[in-house]
Amino acid sequence: MVLLRFTLSEEGVNALRDALACLNKFSDEVSLEAKRDKLVFTALNSSKSAYAAFSFITNRFFSKYQYEGVAQNREKFFCKLYNRALLSLFRARTGDSLHDPEKGGSVIERCDVAVEDEAGKKSRFIVKIACRNGMTTKYRLPFEVSPPVHAKFDKDEAIHSWTISSRTLRQLMDHFGPGIEYLDIHSEDDSTVNFTCFTEKVASGDEVLKKPLHTSIAVEKEEFDSFDVSEDKLHIVVSVKDFRAITQHAAFLGSEVSAQYSMPSRPMQIRYDGDGVKCEFLLMTVGERGAPGQRTKKTRAGARSAPRAQQLEAATSRATSNAPTPAPRPTPATRHDDYQWEPVRMNEDEDEEEGDARLEWDASDRPNPSAVKMSSVIANQTAQRRGPGPGPDNSVEPDQALSYLEPTQRLSQARQFGLFND
């Protein structure tokens, strides 16, 4: 039985692909939640320090959208998909047209998606892609019916906010080099806001030259469309990788980005809208109140703040697992016409597709983290695909990380930690 059916135009496919590519930078899995009026894609990263949600307004975004629902739950349908598989359907063709205009005919013209789910039958996410050259391809993807985990954000608590053009923000981020871990945003005085990057990796001796470029940018407050932070010199620190994933996507849409936050170790919300899509992210901020953010490893004592410190600890453990990252990766922002001067790549023919994929995400940061998290739930699905890799959560604090937020736990249990809601 088809319980959900929708059609995407060429622009719709592009917008969805951009969204999926962005989600892919947070997690291998993407959760889909369908209602009559909106279709929401979400991802929560393995250390639960970053959450991304793209909400598509069905009557504006889709050419056609038909939601039937299931008998058990008329209101909404949800499932989880392996994002790389989903993303590759859209990427395969559109990527070509960039490099080779002659293949422009293989640009996706239309995409029909149907979700089937029925007792006794295999559940399938069916994607039918029609290309401009007349070729139609049909894909069936397996999915798992499991509720998405949404991160919770307390708007009332987040008294600080700013908004800025996504283009400006992207330009700022472009000044940062590879290899950095954290971004510290704070107002310096009445007229300037400072963006500084730093890393916790320690370098000594010959390693000194491998330290990443240390960048600090003083921006006039005027550059922001609004800047409403009542507390001076409030250092708010987030992961550069997550922040960059957001700014890159936001720049595609060219809209205005707004951020809301309260204090270090509490989540920061970043929002922006596109045509028929609302994008929302929650990033756990690092550090302690009053401290300049550098002391991320320290945990706070005291029963009340314990869960918060743990959450923070989770964010840190993920980041520190990055530490052995070798020398800075080549800047992904290679100018297009510069490409031809790059040294010869021997196996280009074979792994061109892989190479494209690699540009899109940070390979150094994925020792299959979500395989660990999800292993108990979808073991039968993923067993043949990948074993439970040495997840960062595991290696740092095995018992805490595992018992802490298994997707199978009750939501009421999760709620007490402050970040999660239904």
Considering only the stretches 64-72, 115-123, 145-153, 163-171, report the one whose residues sit in contact with another protein under the rule CB under 8 A: 163-171
Task: Give the interface size with another protein as a residue count (CB under 8 A).
Answer: 46
Find the binder of another protein among 11, 100, 118, 220 (CB under 8 A): 220
| Amino acid occupying residue 345 | R
213 near another protein, judged by CB under 8 A: yes
Find the binder of another protein among 94, 215, 299, 375 (CB under 8 A): 215
> Please, what is the minimum distance in Å from the beta carbon of residue 204 to another protein?
9
The secondary structure of 274-338, three-state, reads ECCEEEEEEEECECCCCCCCCCCCCCCCCCCCHHHHHHHHHHHHHHHCCCCCCCCCCCCCCCHHH
Considering only the stretches 16-24, 82-90, 208-216, 288-296, report the one whose residues sit in contact with another protein under the rule CB under 8 A: 208-216
Q: Which among 401, 414, 413, 411 has a CA at the least distance from the CA of 372?
A: 401
Considering only the stretches 44-52, 135-143, 148-156, 345-353, report the one whose residues sit in contact with another protein under the rule CB under 8 A: 345-353
If the CB atoms of residues 71 and 208 are measured against another protein, the closer one turns out to be 208
> Please, what is the minimum distance in Å from the beta carbon of residue 14 to another protein?
19
Find the binder of another protein among 156, 324, 346, 399 (CB under 8 A): 346
79, containing H or E segment: strand 77-82
Tokens coding 319? 């980041």
167 near another protein, judged by CB under 8 A: yes
Find the binder of another protein among 136, 331, 395, 413 (CB under 8 A): 331
Find the binder of another protein among 341, 354, 399, 410 (CB under 8 A): 341
CA-to-CA distance for 171 and 183, rounded, in angstroms?
15
CA-to-CA distance for 168 and 325, rounded, in angstroms?
29
Find the binder of another protein among 152, 211, 278, 366 (CB under 8 A): 211
Kindly report each contact of residues 328-333 with a partner whose C-beta sits within 8 Å and lies 24 or more positions away, as own/partner.
328/177, 328/178, 328/179, 328/210, 328/212, 329/178, 329/179, 329/364, 330/178, 331/177, 331/178, 332/178, 332/359, 333/174
**133: which residues sit within 8 A by CB, 6+ positions away?**
105, 106
Scan for tokens 């892919």, then name that residue: 24
CA 218 to chain centre: 27
Find the binder of another protein among 97, 146, 163, 400 (CB under 8 A): 163
> Please, what is the minimum distance in Å from the beta carbon of residue 16 to another protein?
23
Scan for tokens 């994929």, then name that residue: 357
CA 207 to chain centre: 31
Binding residues for another protein restricted to 11-50, rule: CB under 8 A: none
168 near another protein, judged by CB under 8 A: yes
Binding residues for another protein restricted to 229-268, rule: CB under 8 A: 254-256
> Please, what is the minimum distance in Å from the beta carbon of residue 161 to another protein?
12
Tokens coding 202? 């320690």
226 near another protein, judged by CB under 8 A: yes
228 near another protein, judged by CB under 8 A: no
If the CB atoms of residues 15 and 127 are measured against another protein, the closer one turns out to be 15
Q: Which residues in 351-369 are b (16+ Cβ under 10 Å) and which e?
A: eeeeeebeebbbeebbebb
> Please, what is the minimum distance in Å from the beta carbon of residue 195 to another protein?
9
Task: Give the residues lining the site for another protein (CB under 8 A).
Answer: 163-168, 171-172, 175, 177-178, 203, 208-220, 222-223, 225-226, 254-256, 327-328, 330-331, 338, 340-344, 346-349
